[in-house]
Amino acid sequence: MAPTDCISANLSRIRSAMEAACQRSGRAADAARLVAVTKYAAMEWVKILTTLGQWALGESRPQQLAARAGEFSANGVSSVEWHMIGHLQRNKVDLVVPVCTLIHSVDSVRLARRISQIATRQQRTVPILFEVNVSGESSKDGFAPEGLQAAWDDLIRLPGLEIRGLMTMAPRVDNPEQARPYFAQLRELRDGLAARLEDECPLPELSMGMSGDFEVAIEEGATIVRIGSSLFAGLSQESAAGAPG
């Protein structure tokens, strides 16, 4: 199958499954949005996604995000939304802030302070999510739930940040049902933190769910799912950008 047909078929299948999961949980069919994770995708595949109307793209490496954002804008394409989903070092914040729609992976107070500093300097407001390590696995980045609760009053005072919600990665499990409690915990944590804010619609976003577990995540309230491998299933790995790792 040609790459366009393959990606198009994968995308339709994923979008239908997302809609079905929204409806099963009594939400509007478009209550969850897809961020296509392109960290291992060849640029050719990324362009195909945009021609299919998939404009929200996620990258985990700041350099690749900045380079690809630069390539699209050099070609006069300004509709792409870039989502930073991977660990962000403080010395790379400058690189992503000007081109990023949403930083999902703010995983420490020090990083939040750095983004706030750059945002203030560049006279911007930067939309962010706080990444939470709900499962407590040592291999994962993110705030411990209690750590985020403890730092909350300081975090919400940082200028230049628009705190949109929370993000998590569930542990790798055999059956997606096993990931459900982690998604529910992120939602409960969000509800508790939102109650401490006076905004009209505080912390609207829950970024959770990947190829293996996005349907369960949507049932538990995800508003953004981040999907990579199943979008590109069936395509030859040889033409992908950089092997995993």
Ligand X SMILES: *Cc1c(COP(=O)(O)O)cnc(C)c1O
Contact between 41 and ligand X by CB under 6 A: the answer reads: no
Residue 41 or 160 having the CB closest to ligand X: 41
Residue 105: CB partners within 8 Å, gap ≥ 6? 84, 85, 86, 87, 88, 129, 131, 141, 167
Residue nearest to ligand X (CB): 228
Residue 148 or 208 having the CB closest to ligand X: 208
User: Cα(224)–Cα(33) distance, rounded to whole angstroms?
Assistant: 5
The terminus-to-terminus CA distance of the chain in angstroms comes to 27
Contact between 170 and ligand X by CB under 6 A: the answer reads: no
Asked if residue 154 lies in contact with residue 147, where contact means CB atoms within 8 angstroms, the answer is no
Tell me which of 173, 211, 240, 241 binds ligand X, using CB under 6 A: 211
Residue 160 or 208 having the CB closest to ligand X: 208
User: Cα(65)–Cα(122) distance, rounded to whole angstroms?
Assistant: 19
Q: Least separation, in Å, of the C-beta of 103 and ligand X? A: 12
Query: DSSP secondary-structure letter at 104?
Result: E
Query: DSSP secondary-structure letter at 15?
Result: H
User: Cα(168)–Cα(172) distance, rounded to whole angstroms?
Assistant: 12
Tell me which of 18, 22, 39, 102 binds ligand X, using CB under 6 A: 39
Q: Least separation, in Å, of the C-beta of 46 and ligand X? A: 14
Tell me which of 11, 32, 41, 85 binds ligand X, using CB under 6 A: 85
Residue 171: CB partners within 8 Å, gap ≥ 6? 135, 137, 178, 179, 182
Select from 18-26, 136-144, 194-202, 210-218 the region that touches ligand X (CB under 6 A): 210-218
Tell me which of 86, 127, 192, 202 binds ligand X, using CB under 6 A: 86
Residues that bind ligand X (CB under 6 A): 37, 39, 60, 85-86, 169, 210-212, 226-229
